[in-house]
Structure 1
Amino acid sequence: MPFPNDEQIMKTAGDLIAQLKTLFGSHPGFRPAHAKGKILVGTFTPSAEASKLSRALHFNAPSTKVWLRFSNSTGLPQIPDNVGDADPRGLAIRFHLPEVNGRRMHTDIIAHSVPLFPVRTGAEFQELLRAIGASGPSTPDQPSPIEKFLGSHPAAMAFVTYPKPLPASYATLQYYGVSAFKLVDANGRETFIRYNIVPDAGIQTLDAGTVMGENYLQEELSARLEKGPIIFKIVAQVADSSDITDDATVQWPESREKVELGTVKVDNIIPDNPIEQKKVIFDPIPRVDGVEPSDDPLLEMRAAVYLMSGKDRRAA
């Protein structure tokens, strides 16, 4: 499926941002989705297997500085950490690459704590947001717009009903890159993968009914780092020749081969966090030699949304 032209992408991206602001309000200086978050700093060290799959700089250098932004869902900057609406939790990882001709270089991974996305395209996401905005209390004989949407979109229903227990920590969640990417090695061999970000401490969630504070996830990061670094493994789930690589609503079987690409060791929360969060614009498209985007139509759309909202955030 070909991507729409740039004009179509930017128009739909602008409409999506406007719809998100309709749902969550306008909060200058904050993201329209995953508004509440915190950025930490650490180091990525690739595994020996990483260079066999990709010639990308960060998979071949001894180590690379990284930023990680943990976040809650929605465009509400003050959403409590202890409510279901804050799911799925997000994780963005930025790899700070060596400068080229004085220009800063980077590549990013965007992930969240559910292994699929509710819709395949930006247009469908806009339909979903409009259905949410148009829905009030339903009655047995008159389903709400969101109930109608979920009833006609099985992938969205699967996303909504996927288990989302309250996390014990941002550091004990597994995060999934729902879009596929193509790793290219030094000989030009191509491998389709999806990223899994796996906590070294294991997956830990809280029992239903556990009472936690409104900012417990943010506060827990500081307390955890005082005891030592936070560690994640970046794992590539390798596609089989039969797997769909252009649809983020479709999960690949758990039986697929998984290759450890390296370790992220997180040491500190960056200073001036609010300032840096306004400035940094993550990019779902890798834009680095050795990692290429798939034909997933969400990639160009999400990149446009992130760029447009980032420019608005910086201007606030």
Structure 2
Amino acid sequence: MPLPTDEKLLALSQNLIDQFHKIFGEYPGFRPAHAKGVMLTGTFTPTAAAAGLSSAQHLNAPSTPIVVRFSDSTGLPLVPDNDPNANPKGFAIRFMLGERVHTDIVSHSTDGFPTHTGDEFLEFLRALASSDPKNLAGSPLEAFLGSHPAALAFVQTPKPFPFSFGTESYFGVTAMKFTNAAGESKFGRYRILPAAGNQYLSDDMAKHQDSDYLVDEIGERVAAAPVKFTLAVQIAPEGAVVDDATIHWPADSQVVELGTLELTALSADTLAEQKHIIFDPIPRLAGIEPSDDPLLELRAAIYLMSGRKRREA
């Protein structure tokens, strides 16, 4: 996949990568954000309702092989799983549609995003880098959060420690446009719900966990039995804003279940595969299109730029 030609977009993407490195340090071979992770393999099986929403290949095939990556936040490859800064958790899914043909979903465990645009997100990171989280009074971060209510709401949203990567819900950041074979289109955001239900640790329980408790646990869990999730889409109500990741839709909005993600094994060489794979937040296949959310092209460029550098390391 080639890089975009928009010079402003490329410059903003590089500035964001540089800012992540300024906050966390630079670790060749690892992502600037969500550096620590683990990969698994499995299968996606769609529901009958999936074809009614989209003509996408994996939503109409009997089943599709998948590769997934769970991750901690931060750009620190050795961040403890029970460090508060390691939340929200990430969950990326690749649907293997054919030889060198795939489509991805990138999600995290907090519903929403702190900013509407990449420029705002860069301002947020710069404020974070120049502030002491333990003494926010009068800091650049306090000023930013005071003038950006969506960012304040995101920061204040509870981010409990999951018992397992397999007992957490995950959310697509941006809306997608789903079109079925009849040409009918609806916008929606992904929701990925654990079959085992949401299970969390208290802060006190989390403090007593090992630094790799989630990575170790998911390996033991998948060795004992398949780890399952329901892949669903929250449908945008008529007239809803679909190009701003900071805006939530009503809680009672329609949800369509697309199918079951069934994870059956750890990847054979998880470190090597994490270094090589570059997830793409833009679907790039018939039946699912990106919305006009400005974060999409930016995130795609960041993932590609940092991914190429990671492969070279």
Range class of TM-score, shorter chain: over 0.9
State how far apart, in whole Å, the 2-side matches of 1:274 and 1:138 are. Answer: 34
Give the match for residue 248 of structure 2. Answer: 251
| Number of residues of Structure 1 aligned to a counterpart in Structure 2 | 308
Structure 1 residue 165, shift from structure 2 partner: 1.1
1:15-67 Cα distance to aligned partner (Å, 9 max, x none): 00001000000100000000000110000000000011111100000000001
Find the partner of 2:190 among 179, 189, 195. 195
State how far apart, in whole Å, the 1-side matches of 2:138 and 2:130 are. Answer: 12
Q: Confirm or deny: 8 A CA contact 1:138 1:144 kept in the other structure.
A: no
Structure 1 residue 227, shift from structure 2 partner: 1.7
Give the match for residue 142 of structure 2. Answer: 147
Find the partner of 2:294 among 294, 297, 301. 297
Q: Sequence identity, in percent?
A: 52
Q: Confirm or deny: 8 A CA contact 2:115 2:121 kept in the other structure.
A: yes
Structure 1 residue 130, shift from structure 2 partner: 0.4
State how far apart, in whole Å, the 1-side matches of 2:202 and 2:75 are. Answer: 26
Structure 1 residue 273, shift from structure 2 partner: 1.0
1:126-177 Cα distance to aligned partner (Å, 9 max, x none): 001100111136768x511111111111010111010111110000000000
Give the match for residue 110 of structure 2. Answer: 114
Q: Please tell me the residue identity of whatever aligns with 2:277.
A: V
Structure 1 residue 95, shift from structure 2 partner: 0.4
Aligned: 1:311 with 2:308 = yes
State how far apart, in whole Å, the 2-side matches of 1:136 and 1:227 are. Answer: 43
Question: Counterpart of 2:223 in 1: which secondary structure?
Answer: helix
Give the match for residue 284 of structure 1. Answer: 281
State how far apart, in whole Å, the 2-side matches of 1:147 and 1:139 are. Answer: 9
Question: Counterpart of 2:233 in 1: which secondary structure?
Answer: strand
Q: Confirm or deny: 8 A CA contact 1:193 1:238 kept in the other structure.
A: yes
Give the match for residue 97 of structure 2. Answer: 97
Q: Please tell me the residue identity of whatever aligns with 1:227.
A: A
Q: Confirm or deny: 8 A CA contact 1:200 1:233 kept in the other structure.
A: yes
1:186-216 Cα distance to aligned partner (Å, 9 max, x none): 1211111100000000000012201211000
Q: Confirm or deny: 8 A CA contact 2:223 2:265 kept in the other structure.
A: no
Aligned: 1:165 with 2:160 = yes
State how far apart, in whole Å, the 2-side matches of 1:204 and 1:220 are. Answer: 13
Give the match for residue 178 of structure 2. Answer: 183
Give the match for residue 242 of structure 1. Answer: 239
State how far apart, in whole Å, the 1-side matches of 2:133 and 2:123 are. Answer: 19
Question: Counterpart of 2:111 in 1: which secondary structure?
Answer: coil
Q: Which runs of 5+ in 2 are unaligned?
A: none
What aligned pairs does 1:23-38 form with structure 2 within 5 A after superposition? 23-38=23-38
Give the match for residue 122 of structure 2. Answer: 126
Q: Confirm or deny: 8 A CA contact 2:49 2:257 kept in the other structure.
A: yes
State how far apart, in whole Å, the 2-side matches of 1:139 and 1:36 are. Answer: 28
Give the match for residue 39 of structure 1. Answer: 39
1:83-126 Cα distance to aligned partner (Å, 9 max, x none): 11001100000000023xxxx11100010000000001111110
State how far apart, in whole Å, the 2-side matches of 1:89 and 1:296 are. Answer: 22
Question: Counterpart of 1:191 in 2: which secondary structure?
Answer: strand
Find the partner of 2:269 among 268, 272, 282. 272
Q: Which runs of 5+ in 1 are unaligned?
A: none
Runs of 4+ in 1 over 6 A off after TM superposition: 137-140
Q: What is the TM-score of this pair, normalised by structure 2?
A: 0.96
State how far apart, in whole Å, the 2-side matches of 1:287 and 1:38 are. Answer: 25
State how far apart, in whole Å, the 2-side matches of 1:197 and 1:312 are. Answer: 30
Q: What is the TM-score of this pair, normalised by structure 1?
A: 0.95
